[in-house]
């Protein structure tokens, strides 16, 4: 199969779904041929209460095509569902009307509930979550709200804005979403111009310029830039960056109320080869806090998944933030039921 047909095959699997008043674009690989993959002894037929899948939750301005190499590695053995949030799908849909007054956006809890409703629609009982960047907020919120449905939670250079002591905060309050600032409003207004959107596309393509292994570079460039130059994509990108701190603080409140019970795997990307990188230090502190939380739940014998046998892992990788492009083998292995840390 040539690279062009690989791109076309994945693109053909995308479809729109509506669940819990949310609109998503899904890329659902479906179940593989289980007999050829040697999976006859693994439950998971469609509709079976034991069915499971790998759920991919992307970060801001990360289209599905960034996951193409990982999809190629996983799809022969797993059902993979990649969720693109409304506005990030690059389908050239019309811009929604801008409400007067304060800006609005779905809450993190609403997003997690919508993901659960979507899994119900797809008849998927349990998932192993690959959460990249800001998608880590949604993934962790889902894992806390639906512990019985999350087998593994994998942070692929996941967002980490909270201090390590966030669980000790005494407040449950969540601030209102701030309105767009002057600079953001000017940039969004400028995005109405075709040449400005073309500039956005060039900037967003730059860290991807080396291409993927399974798709020809030029073919991917043309396809990806059609996303990045889409006005709705640009608007959604800015809105999600604005809601970033709000979701982080919502996660603080969830952390105080709902323990994390699933297996945790963390991969952190850094361009620096020293562990003193501030990003690595912050990620390590978060991992240690969550690792202790999961172990504490297992020791207390709380309902849900026991801590016995759980092997949480933490890895630092020399790569860019687009870790799924730079090291797809590692990312695919993290989604496996058993993963051996180096």
The per-residue pLDDT for 168 is 42
The predicted model scores a pTM of 0.85
- Helix (H) / strand (E) containing 132: strand 126-132
Instruction: Go through the chain and tell me how many residues it has.
Output: 342
Helix axes 231-257, 217-228, angle to 10 degrees: 80
The per-residue pLDDT for 272 is 66
- Residue 147 has a CB neighbour count (10 Å cut-off) of 18
Give the C-alpha separation, 326 to 270, whole Å.
11
The per-residue pLDDT for 100 is 37
| Residue 174 buriedness (CB in 10 A; 0-12 / 13-18 / 19+) | middle
Cβ-Cβ contacts under 8 Å for 156 (sequence gap 6 or more): 130, 131, 132, 133, 136, 267, 323, 324, 331, 334
The per-residue pLDDT for 131 is 96
Fill in the DSSP letter of residue 338: S
What DSSP line would sit under 201-258, residue for residue? HHHHHGGGTT--SSS-HHHHHHHHHHHHT-HHHHHHHHHHHHHHHHHHHHHHHHHHHS
The per-residue pLDDT for 89 is 63
Give the C-alpha separation, 16 to 11, whole Å.
12
Give the C-alpha separation, 25 to 81, whole Å.
10
Cβ-Cβ contacts under 8 Å for 94 (sequence gap 6 or more): 232
What DSSP line would sit under 152-194, residue for residue? EEEEES----S-TTGGG------PPPPPP-HHHHHHHHHTTSH
Per residue of the chain (342 residues), what is the pLDDT tens digit? 455 578 998 999 999 887 766 788 899 999 876 434 444 334 444 444 458 999 999 999 999 999 999 999 999 999 999 999 877 665 544 434 443 333 456 789 999 999 999 999 999 999 999 999 999 999 999 999 999 999 999 999 999 865 544 444 444 445 555 565 777 788 888 889 999 999 999 999 999 999 999 999 999 999 999 989 999 899 889 888 888 888 998 998 999 899 998 899 999 888 766 657 888 888 998 899 999 999 887 655 544 444 445 679 999 999 999 999 999 999 999 998 665 555
The per-residue pLDDT for 36 is 41
The per-residue pLDDT for 336 is 84
């Amino acid at each position: 199969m040539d690279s062009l047909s690989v791109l076309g095959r994945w693109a053909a699997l995308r479809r729109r779904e509506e669940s819990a008043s949310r609109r998503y674009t899904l890329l659902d690989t479906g179940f593989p041929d289980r007999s050829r993959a040697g999976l006859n002894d693994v439950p998971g037929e469609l509709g079976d209460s034991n069915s499971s899948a790998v759920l991919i939750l992307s970060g801001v301005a990360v289209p599905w095509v960034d996951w193409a190499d990982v999809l190629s590695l996983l799809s022969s053995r797993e059902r993979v569902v990649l969720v693109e949030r409304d506005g990030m799908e690059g389908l050239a849909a019309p811009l929604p009307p801008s409400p007067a007054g304060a800006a609005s956006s779905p809450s993190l809890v609403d997003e997690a509930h919508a993901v659960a409703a979507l899994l119900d629609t797809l008849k998927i009982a349990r998932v192993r979550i690959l959460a990249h960047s800001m998608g880590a907020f949604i993934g962790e919120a889902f894992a806390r709200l639906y512990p019985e449905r999350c087998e593994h939670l994998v942070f692929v250079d996941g967002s980490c804005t909270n201090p390590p002591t966030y669980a000790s905060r005494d407040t449950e309050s969540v601030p209102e979403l701030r309105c767009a600032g002057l600079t953001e409003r000017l940039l969004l207004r400028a995005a109405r111009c075709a040449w400005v959107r073309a500039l956005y596309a060039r900037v967003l393509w730059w860290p991807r310029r080396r291409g993927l292994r399974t798709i020809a570079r030029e073919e991917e460039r043309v396809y990806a830039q059609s996303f990045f130059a889409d006005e709705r994509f640009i608007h959604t990108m800015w809105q999600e960056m604005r809601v970033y701190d709000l979701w982080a603080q919502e996660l603080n409140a969830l952390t105080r109320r709902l323990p994390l019970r699933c297996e945790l795997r963390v991969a952190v990307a850094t361009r620096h080869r020293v562990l003193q990188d501030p990003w690595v230090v912050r990620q390590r502190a978060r991992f240690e806090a969550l690792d202790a939380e999961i172990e504490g739940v297992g020791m207390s014998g709380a309902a849900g998944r026991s801590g016995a046998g759980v092997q949480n892992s933490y890895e630092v990788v020399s790569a860019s933030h687009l870790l799924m492009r730079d090291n797809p083998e590692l990312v695919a292995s993290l989604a496996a039921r058993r993963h051996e840390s180096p």
